[in-house]
Amino acid sequence: MKRMSWTMVLVVLLGLLVSLPVYAGVVIEDPGVELESFAIESFGEAPLLAERVAQGELPTVEERLPLQPYVVVADDIGLYGGTANLVTLRPRVTHIDGRIMDFTGILQPQADGGGSAVSFARKVEISEDASTFTVHLREGVKWSDGAPFSAHDIMFWYHDYLLNEDLFPVVGSNWRTEGEVVEVTMLDEYTVEFAFVGPNPFFEMRLAHTLGSEPFLPRHYLEQFHINYVDEDELIAMAEAAGFENWYQFFFDRADRTADLPNQPDLPTLAPYRLLRKDAERHIFECNPYFWKVDAEGNQLPYIDRIEVTLASDRGMIDGMIVSGQLDYEGSATDIRSYPLYRNFEEEGGYRALLWTSGMANEVIYQFNLTHNDPVMREIFQDVRFRRAMSLAIDRQEINEVIYFGHAEPMQYTALESSRYSKPEFAQAYAEFDPEAAAALLDEMGLDQRDGEGYRLRPDGERLIITLEFFDFETPKLPNIELVVAHWQAVGVDVRTRAVSGELQSQRAVGNLMDATIWHGDTGADTLFPFGNRFVVPETPDWNNTIWPEWARWNSTNGEEGEEPPAEVMALIDWYDQMLVEPSPERRVELGQNLLASQAENLWVIGTVGKAPWVLIVSENLRNVPEQGLWVWDNLWSRSMNPSSFYFAQ
């Protein structure tokens, strides 16, 4: 087997990071993943696919691959075959299913979250003013059903999907600058230009994250469900027969996907696996015979034939599956508190419990609803002394020792230490444990009266009761909550908890119905912080936060709905809006630091600990998996690490 050490790979990655585009007017490309850089004279394929070729069911591998396949360099040249067993808590096909599948986007995030790299595009050219992005696609790529992919699929997405008022009455902010929708032009079969009316310097990073998998749809398949290509009466009859009221609901159902992972088995994909079938028990994927990546010897990826994702009822069930050796790869619902348990059963379960870094800017962040419908609660929550008091009341070192075995760091929510926007003082603002100072602040703001049980009273004489609603997912949230609630009760604040489903969390948070909630503090890396951080600016109401739903609604609807924010919050919106169109990197950093300085001073969210370890369970014979890495949304977990090169050694 050919081998390349991960040290060598790290050197390559560091070299790429040095050349990351900081200024506009750059070209993003990487000859190190292009066929011309390798002495590949022929291509190989999985035995499973070779059998289908022999039976006349598939064309040869040379005919299936593009003219310019992406070349993946990993530790080993792997072996073909096997089924990877995964688990999920969600009945829909989501990112969780795809964490052992490559991200299929125009660009992709660097594995360390530090910038972007080429992916489905061979090259992206950015104009000097960062308003025009020219995307050069890989020639000869095919969809999973064998149909050719070209710029026509992007133009179908643009003209028939994004600009169709039935499908999108309002085009989202991702595709606008200065209120104007991006203009997309096909320059040739494999070249497309995205032109904005003004600078859009973070569009590159958007293309490296989930937005990068958005602007292409399989026209050859989806036009049969679109009103521009089918007689209206015929299409409506088809929709009604399928149980839908109108054609666009029918179209959305047939086009249903998550980051190019189809929720419908018939929907073609560019991902390394296509959905074979799904039911109430599992999602089953099989390798895409037309996938566009190869290894360093020309063998078509992925190596693994099949992926089966079992639906679990809760995290406890997942722990049981781990220790009994039922899973080959799991990081979505592992728990650092169970690390000793995982290690204890490694040999018996036939797996390795790796310690990656969570990559979260903060493990759990607490959010009080500043636009609460109850005016008394609103006044309390909007008083910065309350938020500072609640922060000072938290014993973060206890959280670190009890949950993370002392391997995390007490701190506030802010950008990652590696971020160009970070300053050390942001992480330490009001992060010390000082319950006496916390009590004094609460007294000072008029919450000095208590009832017979010692709990503080509101100004109207009622007990101050705060219900903390939470969806327990990813980082260890429940044990964190149990400790923090005890800290807050110790200073006389009656905080009660209520676990909710993800669906209910979405409804209540967006609906301004919560007192308080939590989430993990992601979007701290430079891949997301500058343009996707809903924790430091009220951009739009979101399911995982309840900091300022009505202010965010006002901002996202241009004042037509919601409530106009106060001056200090309007400043956040102004800084953020300037940042999105500012061509000067230095000025963008200054504006980003303004946002983080405001977070440190006002504690829009209250952090607990950061720099925490994350447990990744990997089957003993699953290879080419890095021993260390970041497990975080900012870099799309392991999807930025070319997991199509993972393979079973036996």
Q: What is the mean pLDDT of residues 302-309?
A: 98
* The architecture CATH gives domain 362-549+603-610: Roll (3.10)
Q: To 5 degrees, how large is the angle CA 518–CA 315–CA 278?
A: 105
Residue 15 has pLDDT above 60, yes or no: no
Please give the torsion angle defined by the CA atoms of residues 172, 178, 180 and 182, in that order, rounded to the nearest 10 degrees.
Answer: -70
Q: What is the mean pLDDT of residues 481-485?
A: 98
The arrangement of strands across the sheet holding 351-357 comes to 329-330, 613-619, 351-357
Q: Which residues face 450 on adjacent strands? A: 456
Polymer length of the chain: 650
Same fold for the pair 6-217+255-306+619-648 and 362-549+603-610: no
Tell me the pLDDT band of 7, cut-offs 50, 70 and 90: very low
Output the CA–CA distances (angstroms, integers) from residue 393 to 11, 398, 488, in the order listed: 44, 12, 6
Predicted pLDDT of residue 22: 43
Chain centroid to Cα 113, Å, comes to 11
Chain centroid to Cα 271, Å, comes to 17
3-state secondary structure of 353: strand
- The type of residue at 397 is Q
Q: How far apart are CA 468 and CA 483, in angstroms?
A: 13
Q: Kindly report, residue by residue over 30-61, the tens digit of the pLDDT.
A: 999 999 999 999 999 999 999 999 999 999 99
Predicted pLDDT of residue 302: 98
Average pLDDT value for the chain: 93
Q: Kindly report, residue by residue over 419-460, the tens digit of the pLDDT.
A: 999 999 999 999 999 999 999 999 999 999 999 999 999 999
Q: Kindly report, residue by residue over 187-198, the tens digit of the pLDDT.
A: 999 999 999 999
Q: Which residues face 157 on adjacent strands? A: none
Q: Are 390 and 606 a contacting pair, CB within 8 Å?
A: yes
Residue 410 has pLDDT above 50, yes or no: yes
Q: To 5 degrees, how large is the angle CA 19–CA 24–CA 27?
A: 55
Q: To 5 degrees, how large is the angle CA 88–CA 336–CA 326?
A: 40
3-state secondary structure of 366: strand
CATH fold, domain 6-217+255-306+619-648, is Dipeptide-binding Protein; domain 1 (3.90.76)
DSSP secondary structure letter of residue 203: H
Structure tokens belonging to residue 299: 């063998």
Tell me the pLDDT band of 92, cut-offs 50, 70 and 90: confident
Tell me the pLDDT band of 4, cut-offs 50, 70 and 90: very low
The residue with tokens 């800017």 is 361
Tell me the pLDDT band of 491, cut-offs 50, 70 and 90: very high
Domain limits of the chain?
A: 6-217+255-306+619-648, 362-549+603-610
Q: How far apart are CA 285 and CA 534, in angstroms?
A: 33
φ/ψ of 273, rounded to 5, equals -135, 145
Do the bridges between strand 409-410 and strand 516-521 make them parallel or antiparallel, or are there none, so unpaired?
unpaired
Nearest by Cα to 256 from 94, 106, 107: 94
Nearest by Cα to 215 from 194, 189, 190, 188: 194
Q: What is the DSSP string of 431-487?
A: -S--HHHHHHHHHHTT---B-TTS-BB-TTSSB-EEEEEE---SS-HHHHHHHHHHH
Taking the model in full, what pTM does it have?
0.84
Chain centroid to Cα 299, Å, comes to 30
φ/ψ of 310, rounded to 5, equals -85, 140
Q: What is the mean pLDDT of residues 467-471?
A: 96
